[in-house]
Structure 1
Amino acid sequence: MKKKSVKWWTYHVLVGGFAILMLYPFIWLLMSSFKESSTIFVTAKSLIPDPWIWTNFVEGWKGIGGNSFGVFIKNTVILVALTLVGQVVSSTLVAYGFARLQFRGKAFWFAIMMVTLMLPGEVVMIPQYIIFAKLEWLNSLKPLVIPAYFGTPFFIFLIVQFIRTIPRELDEAAIIDGCNTFNIFYKIILPLIKPALATAAIFSFYWTWDALLGPVLYLNSPAKYTVSMALNMFLSNETVSNWGAMFAMSVVTLVPVFVIFFLFQRYIVEGMSTSGLKG
């Protein structure tokens, strides 16, 4: 019993120490959001603000370029919603085709899809920009949203692996009952892959909410900026950067991320453990 008690305390002390280490950057960010901009890095070793500057949140919410920070949050929410729906719906349909349907060249096209999964985004960045420029889609959400409706390789692979864990006997029973391919997908497969869909939706939310490179490439008007672009605009190479306001708005933009994680973390674990590790 004594040996078990020592192991228990050792385990929890180590885990607690790593947890504090991992949380320290966020705690530093939170405390810095209440400090004067000119003293944030001077007093970096001291976490507790002295004095507490609450006006950083007011100044940060005023935004930039005549647009309040609420405008940037609204733009980001719209982008996230449209992208999330497109990625999840299109990836689910493609995954169902790879996992259940039989067609010529199925293995070849699945291999091509996996190759695109390993392809760095920087490789296709310039060709995509040229295409979108010729389509006159620049300074709009189209280059960021429309590609999401053609499937996302990572989500396709994730959902394919999940569907493969569902017995084919369910499909055969549904066929006997008179279901066609779409009915099997809608009534049998879709309800059973909710954990995988939730995992894809959560990852889509995180990636789109934090995205900076795509919006920087395609959005030119401040009224269409996302929160990541707005945070970057608080920094200036010519004048004094408003670090306090930027940190304050960084805390605000982290709130939805933490809320989504704590509400749906079990879906992430279930979706990844059930589908991601099966061949």
Structure 2
Amino acid sequence: MSQAMRSFVYHTGVILFGLFMVYPILWTLSSSLKPEQEIFVKAASLIPSTVNWGNYVKGWAGFGRTDFGIFFQNSFIITIGVVIGTLISSSLVAFGFARLQFKFRKALFACLLVAVMLPAQVTLIPQYILFHQLGWINTFLPLIVPAFVGGTPFFIFMLIQFIRGLPRELDESAVIDGCSTLGIYWHIILPLMVPALATVAIFSFYWTWDDFLGPLIYLNQTKLFTVSLGLRMFADPSSVSQWGPLFAMSVLSIVPQLLVFLFFQKYLVQGIATTGLKG
């Protein structure tokens, strides 16, 4: 097979695979513009017979006195809080493991590895009991505060790998210049961690924005619901589901994630390439 033929086969395969991956998004976008009765009758068609912008109007109106803008606002508050807390706590803990020598360091690092593999559902009941005793149920605190306290084990482990790749001579030079341990973290390590921290921020944003279980467990009032809980309210197994508004708001819920990926794609690739996550 000639070089031109191999190139043609390769690019054709990549394009077809790309279309296969993008098709669900295109189908959701198309369904959000279709009349309600046409969504599943002409499910295979990506072109609506008539463009129905009413799905977006109806979907944004929300439920009762709570429009979908409130859900987006709640999601942004929680997501931004979690991202900030994750960056601060995870970077500090990772710096401690990667650069400092302290008692029980190896045992604590083993606990960190166990926490990476531990399903979040295992600690769900103890956490709920704790937050209930603190009076935090039906507030954003159970969703935001844990990010500031202990960090995320996966992100800590990822940042440890990045910091270990930085020369220790930088720390030694800073000590000679009179820099404290916290100063080394703030002035030396943190600026060099920008690509890795960008990766942490992007993944943390994605996971928090898409989180359904956490808000479902801790939030009870409609005015506190996030986007994921708001989307669930359109689907009613015991009655008639509002599929048009559901798909319309699903399209809008993807927009923040798409914008984050487009603007920070360079940092995401660079961070993955320098933190030991690549294959």
Give the TM-score normalised by the residue count of structure 1.
Answer: 0.97
- CA deviation digits over 1:119-172, x for unaligned, max 9? 011111112111211221110011111111121101101111000110001111
Which residue is 1:27 aligned to? 26
Deviations for 1:74-103, whole angstroms, at most 9, x for unmatched residues?
011000111111111000000000000110
Deviation at 1:238, TM superposition (A): 3.2
* CA distance in structure 2 between the aligned counterparts of 1:142 and 1:242, rounded to whole angstroms: 31
Could you say which residue in structure 2 is the equivalent of 1:123?
122
Task: Determine the structure 2 residue equivalent to 1:135.
Answer: 134
C-alpha separation in 1, matches of 2:134 and 2:185: 35
| 1:158-197 correspondence runs (5 A) | 158-197=158-197
1:54 lines up with 2:58 in the alignment = no
Alpha-carbon distance, 1:276 to partner: 2.3
How far is the alpha carbon of 1:65 from its aligned partner? 3.1
Give the corresponding residue for 1:247. Answer: 247
Amino acid at match of 1:74: Q
Tell me what 2:269 maps to: 269
Structure 2 match to 1:214: 214
The alignment status of 1:105 with 2:100, answered yes or no, reads: no
Distance 1:34 1:52 in 2: 5
Q: Distance in 1 between matches of 2:94 and 2:57?
A: 46
What is the Cα-based RMSD across aligned positions, in Å? 1.2
Q: Deviations over 1:199-258 (max 9, x none)?
A: 000011001111100000000000000000000001112331110001001111111111
Per the alignment, residue 237 of structure 1 pairs with 237
**How much has 1:47 moved relative to structure 2?**
1.4
Name whichever of 27-36 and 266-275 sits farther off: 266-275
Helix, strand or coil at the partner of 1:6: helix
SS of corresponding position for 1:199:
helix
The answer to whether 1:63 aligns with 2:62 is yes
- Percent identity of the aligned residues? 51
Give the letter for the 1:90 counterpart: S
Tell me, yes or no, if the aligned pair for 1:92 and 1:159 is still in contact at 8 Å.
yes
Deviates more, 1:130-139 or 1:93-102: 130-139
Which residue type is aligned with residue 120 of structure 1? Answer: P
Equivalent-residue separation in structure 2 for 1:244 and 1:17 (angstroms): 28
Partners of 2:52 and 2:239 lie apart in 1 by: 21
CA contact (8 A) 1:57 1:249 kept: yes
For residues 64 and 39 of structure 1, the distance between their equivalents in structure 2, rounded to whole angstroms, comes to: 24
How far apart, in 1, do the equivalents of 2:37 and 2:120 lie? Answer: 37
The gaps in structure 1 that reach 5 residues or longer are none
SS of corresponding position for 1:275 = coil
**Deviation readout 1:47-83 (Å, 9 max, x if unpaired):** 1111211111100110113201101100110001111
Q: In structure 2, what is the Cα distance between the partners aligned to 1:180 and 1:130?
A: 40
Greater mean deviation of Cα atoms: 134-143 or 209-218:
134-143
Q: State the number of aligned residues.
A: 277
**Runs ≥4 residues deviating over 6 A:** none
Aligned equivalents of 2:186, 2:123: Cα separation in 1: 34
- Measured in 2, the distance between the counterparts of 1:187 and 1:146 equals 26
Q: Is the contact between residue 91 and residue 152 of structure 1 (CA under 8 Å) also seen in structure 2?
A: yes
User: What is the CA deviation profile of residues 7-48 of structure 1, one whole-angstrom value per residue up to 9, with x for unaligned ones?
Assistant: 211111111110000000000000000012222111101111
- Distance in 2 separating the partners of 1:184 and 1:16: 47
| 3-state SS of 2:2 partner | helix
In the aligned structure 2, how far is the partner of 1:73 from the partner of 1:266?
26
8 Å Cα contact 1:72/1:224 also seen in 2:
yes
Give the AA of the match of 1:247. Answer: F
Q: Does 1:205 align with 2:205?
A: yes
Q: 1: CA distance between counterparts of 2:99 and 2:36?
A: 57
1:268 deviates by 1.5
Separation in 1, partners of 2:80, 2:64: 25
Secondary structure in 2 aligned to 1:276?
Answer: coil
Preserved CA contact (<8 Å) 1:65 1:222: no
1:221-232 equivalence runs, <5 A: 221-232=221-232
